[in-house]
Structure formats: structure tokens, C-alpha cells
Structure 1
């Protein structure tokens, strides 16, 4: 069976918004020097985006459950264009910070609604692969988005990066307006967040996203200075390193979707978290071997992007009726993890503890492994009695 082509357009939308979140990683030194702020403070632009996204993602379904998803999607893309233009013209850190919040609000709506539209277009038998394609769009922002942002910033300045994002988002908006048909409207009732949060295994699965992605961004948000100062990469090698990392990330999004379809949801969840912990712990062990270091980084990047389609596939399989609530909360959980990891890494960077980032991330990944076991063994069991 072949996936509906409109799912790939939805993935393109998540690619653009995913680039907005991760682009700071590649151009962090340029923003730091351009605005006269520390690297740690510049890194908090990613935290601000992620925390805003985490709060906004569940609210998307609460505020739009009576509207056609296509209209919500198109409106969010329009807001994203406006916020990107504000970022490009920001006279200082405060304006850029505000623009990042606007971009995050729009991105939350785009990602949540795009995922729901994709699962609707794909049907139950290809649901995991549809989610995997959406996350290929997000992880694809690392293949072209972050390296391209580094290239554009290096030649035209960091403001041009946000201008380019605005142009890409406008293109997606026009294409979506033309080809995207009407999609489902929610039944008018609030998503089942309360029921979802009352189950041990569903809460544990959500916390897998928080801890595993938190462990990832503890290092990833500061990967550029880590590669330069600790791993010994030359400045000219940084672009290729991010490109290789991004290619592996796109592969991970696809593999995570297939894993969710081919294996039992619980088994896929445990396998992914254990493999991720091993890959992250191997990074400092490979510092003296440049070739092995690149291979390890690529494996790490691949597995790190497998977790989201795997967790979402698990949530949908465990609670089909509450799938909208599960997906909305999972996007929130993911971005809480991004904010947690970026903030933790920023503290370590400002304390000159750059070399400890992989180990800090591995500590969070250990928690993810334990939570994955809790999720698969608890089944749906209430956290507390419901009235």
C-alpha cells in the first residue's frame, strides 16, 4: 500500500516548523556574537520555543475541537510566517525571544494537527508509517534545515535564516490551501486528557518522551561547541558533521514508524530506549577515534528520532479512543524534554562543564529505560481512582 501524497505535504510543514526549533543549534555562535549575549543565553531561545510548544500542544485540541482541521492548519502556518518575519527583523534579544514564542505557538498547532490529519489520511493499517513520515519531516530539518541555516548564516547573516523560513512557510501555506481537502472535525467534546493522565502506563510512556528527548537535547542543543572544543572537530568539518547527523535522523524517523507497525508497541518502546542509552554512552568513549566518533553520532541521531513515532504508536494502540489526547500530550511531553535538556545543558556549558554533556544526557536516558518497562508492564491501570 502507498501512503496518501498529502501526508508528505504535511511532513513538509513539520519540516519547516521543526527547522525553526532546531535552527538555533547550528547558528548559536552567530546569534551569540551578533546580539552580544552568552552561548548559554542564546541556547535558551530553544528552551523558550520548547516550553511554549509544550504548553500550547494540549491547548490546540481544547481550543480547536469544533473547527475543521484544515483551517486550523492553514491559520497556524500563517501565524508562523508572521512570527518568522518578526524574528528576522528583531532589533534585540527581547524581540527575538518574543518571535520565538510566536513561532512555537504556531508550530505546536501545525505539528499536532498535521499528525492527526496524517493518521486520518493513512488509516489504521499504515498509521505507524504515517506518523513516521511526519517525524521524518521534523528530523529532516536536521538534514537540510540546520546545515542550510549554518550555510545561510555564514554568508548572509543569521537574520536571513528566519527570512528564508518565512518564505518556505508561505510556500507550504499556498500549496496546502490548493491541494489539502477538508478533514475531520472533532465531535465537539474536550479531549480525554483526564482519563489519559489517570493511567500508569500511558503516563509512563509520556515520561519516556520527556526523559529520552531531554537526554538527547542535553548534548544536541550544544553539539556545535561540543564537537569543536571536546571532540576536536575543525570549524570546516562542522557542516558535514551536522549533515551526517541529520541524514541518520531522517532514517530514524522512518525506522521508528516501521518498528511501531512491525513489532508489538511495548517491545518497540523498550528496544528503542535501551538502544538509545547505549548509543549516547558510547559518544565520549569514541572521542579519540574520529571516524568511529562520526559513526557513533550517526547511530545516536538515528535512534533519537525513532522514539517519537514509537511512543505515539504505543499510546494510540493502548488507548485508541483517547488518541487525540495522547498525541497532543505527547507533543507537549517531547518539548518539555527539549526544554529540560537544553536548560540542563546550558547550565553545564556556562559552568565550563561541556565535556559532561553526554553523561548528563545518559542519566536521563537511564530513567527513560526504566519508564519504558513500567509502561509496558503496567498496562492500562489507574493512577488514582476516578470519580
Structure 2
């Protein structure tokens, strides 16, 4: 695997840390900025919305730019937004930096995924994508707890400075290692070709599977802390350990998926989503058993993240050479799932079914993802058989 692919993963780690770290900083930020905690929480929503909109929009606007120049421009803006955010005098300025930062993060993610797949042989695309997407997993396992720790010893602004420094290091790595031009066989993309590639039913079915596969896992993960303390009866100290085990399982899962998804994307997806369905049901049924819950959450991380390279590699296979816009829309699909999951799971809790109900919501989403995966598989076979004949 080229070192440049790992540098792109480092950049995603730094930027992903910014995406998730606010979960541990909200009380301190609210007190410092003179706003309520729910108002501070809107900074998270602003980032998510910016990700959904920014990915395809920036992909289209920078389509004909050289990839390295595009990546460096996005990183430079991201660094600037975090420097401004670290010294922001009020809530409005910080809110604006979060929206702009999310835009360029989304744009970087989409272009980085395409750049990574261009730097490796076709049979290694899922592994390259696993490295890039693995940066997000590392940001939840290491980046978010580290950001919270830094804010406790300094303040929340120090966490923003840390993200700015990490992103600047990634900027240097991209400048030094990512090729300046495109792959020798790659033509300069045209927006017409990119839009034509998007007019593919199988691609949109895959996007649906992307959203549901990710949200099926996040439905339980989003309320995991409350579930473990309220229903399972674990102390807050154990919650951190279980979250770390989930992160470890995610790293294992995305590594396995990266190894198998190139050759067997549908099989990898079916096994992973079946695992999420079973473990989600386990969350609902075994919520009162601490040992069973610890094991279940770990296995959910393994199964859920194994599907990520499988669905992503299908997007790039369906898009073919016109993959920039399709890949960026894939980022939006993941973030739609990230937004959908806590909302739907919260409906069950608000309806009085308790925290274990999030497991049934996740299981239903996993079943829906399996259905879309099967539909996409059928359409794939119908498309392949005439070509083979």
C-alpha cells in the first residue's frame, strides 16, 4: 500500500476528530460562549449538514482541478477554520467555522477516496478505502477521548488548536507524497460524464444500503452510554471501556472488510449486515446483562465496520472512471445515515419503549440494508450475464 494512502488516512483522522470531539466538549463550550448546551449541540448538527451538502457540491466545483491541489486547498481551509474557531470571540463565529469546516472536510473525503483508489491496482481498492475510512474509526477510538482529555487539562480551545496542528501535518504529508497529477490512464473528468454515471439505479440502491448499513449500527451506538448506565447498570467508568472495545472491534472489522471486499463484496456485506442484525437484536434482548452487552457491542463493531469497504467499493465499481461525484455522494450517504440513526432511535425512546428499543430500530435498519443489498445483487447479476454471454 503506498505511503500516500496512509497520509490520506491521517488527514481523515485529524478531520474526523473535529467532527466527533464536540460530544465531550459541549458543557465547557456552552459555559464559555454564554449559550445553552442544546444551542452548543447545534454545532454538531451544523457539521453534519455541511457534510451532506458539501461533498457533492465541492466535488462538482473542483472536478477539473488536479487532485493534489484540491486536497491541499481543502486542508488549508480546514486548518484556517480551526485556528479561527480556537480564537472565536462568540458563538456565531464558531458556528460559521463549523459549517465551512464541514464543507471542506466532506470535499476532502470524497476526493481522497478517489485519489486512494487511483494509486492502487483495481484488486486493492477496498484495502485502500479501508485505510482512508479507518481514519474515522481511529478518530472515535483515539481522537475523541484525547480531545476531551486535552480540554480537561487546558480548555476546549486547546482541542481545536490540536486539530489544526494535526491537519497541518497531514497537509505536509499530502504535499510530499500524493502525486501531483492523475494516474496515467485517467482522463480529466467532465461534469457531464460524472452526472451520467450518477443516473444509475444500482448506484442509488447502493447509496441506500450505505445509509442503512451505517445507521443500523449507529442507532445503538448513539445511545450506548445512556443504555449501559440506565439499563445495564454499569458505571460511567465502564462506559469508556465498552466504547473502546467497540472501537477495537471496528478496527478489526474494517481491516477484515478491506481484505475481502475486493474479491467478494456482496458476501462481505451479507455476513457483516447479518452480524449487525443479530447483535442489534442482542442489544434489545440482553440489555440487562453486563457481560453479554460487552461482548455484543464488540461484535457489533466488527460486523458493522466490515460492511464499509464492501459498499464503498461497489460505489466505485458502478461509477467506473467517473467516480469523483459518485464517491463524494457516498460521503453524503454515510452522513445521512449518521443523522437518521439517532432520530429514529430517539422516537422509540420517546414513545416509552426504553433504551433497549434502539436495538430493534438498528435491527430493522439492518434488515432494510440486507434487502437493498439483495436487490442490488440481483440487478448486478442481470447486468453481468448478458455481458458475459
Question: Is the pair's TM-score, using the shorter chain for normalization, greater than 0.5?
Answer: yes
Q: 1:345 to 1:47 in 2, by over 3 A?
A: farther
Q: What residue in structure 2 maps to residue 385 of structure 1? A: none
Offset of residue 105 of structure 1: 1.0
Once structures 1 and 2 are overlaid, which stretch shifts more, 168-177 or 146-155? Answer: 146-155
Given the alignment, which residue of 117, 120, 133 partners 2:118? 120
Give distance in 1, aligned partners of 2:226 and 2:93: 25
Give distance in 1, aligned partners of 2:93 and 2:18: 16
Give distance in 2, aligned partners of 1:304 and 1:365: 10
Cα root mean square deviation, aligned: 2.7
1:194-224: CA deviation from partner (whole Å, max 9, x where unpaired): 4344333221111011122223333333433
Offset of residue 189 of structure 1: 0.8
Give distance in 1, aligned partners of 2:27 and 2:349: 13
Q: 1:216 to 1:341 in 2, by over 3 A?
A: same
Q: 1:159 to 1:361 in 2, by over 3 A?
A: farther
Give distance in 2, aligned partners of 1:186 and 1:98: 36
Q: Which runs of 5+ in 1 are unaligned?
A: 383-387
Q: Does 1:58 align with 2:59?
A: no
Q: Assess if the C-alpha contact under 8 Å between 1:45 and 1:100 holds in 2.
A: yes
**TM-score (norm: length of structure 1):** 0.87
Q: Assess if the C-alpha contact under 8 Å between 2:210 and 2:334 holds in 1.
A: yes
Q: 1:223 to 1:191 in 2, by over 3 A?
A: farther
Offset of residue 77 of structure 1: 0.8
Give distance in 2, aligned partners of 1:63 and 1:380: 35
Give distance in 1, aligned partners of 2:198 and 2:173: 37
Q: 1:316 to 1:278 in 2, by over 3 A?
A: same
1:14-39: CA deviation from partner (whole Å, max 9, x where unpaired): 11112222223444565566665355
Q: 1:126 to 1:337 in 2, by over 3 A?
A: same
- The within-5 A match list for 1:226-305 is 226-263=227-264, 265-305=265-305
1:330-355: CA deviation from partner (whole Å, max 9, x where unpaired): 11111111122244456667788761
Q: Which runs of 5+ in 2 are unaligned?
A: 384-389
What SS class does the counterpart of residue 187 from structure 1 fall into?
Answer: coil
Kindly tell me the number of residue pairs found equivalent between the two proteins. 378
Q: Does 1:316 align with 2:316?
A: yes
Q: Assess if the C-alpha contact under 8 Å between 1:25 and 1:224 holds in 2.
A: no
Once structures 1 and 2 are overlaid, which stretch shifts more, 349-358 or 128-137? Answer: 349-358
What SS class does the counterpart of residue 262 from structure 2 fall into?
Answer: helix
Given the alignment, which residue of 183, 190, 208 partners 2:181? 183
Q: What residue in structure 1 maps to residue 375 of structure 2? A: 374
Q: What residue in structure 1 maps to residue 163 of structure 2? A: 165
Once structures 1 and 2 are overlaid, which stretch shifts more, 301-310 or 225-234? Answer: 225-234
Q: What residue in structure 2 maps to residue 340 of structure 1? A: 340
**TM-score (norm: length of structure 2):** 0.87
Higher relative contact order (Cα pairs below 8 Å, separated by 6+ residues): 1
Give distance in 1, aligned partners of 2:271 and 2:316: 18
Q: 1:194 to 1:59 in 2, by over 3 A?
A: same
Give distance in 1, aligned partners of 2:117 and 2:30: 40
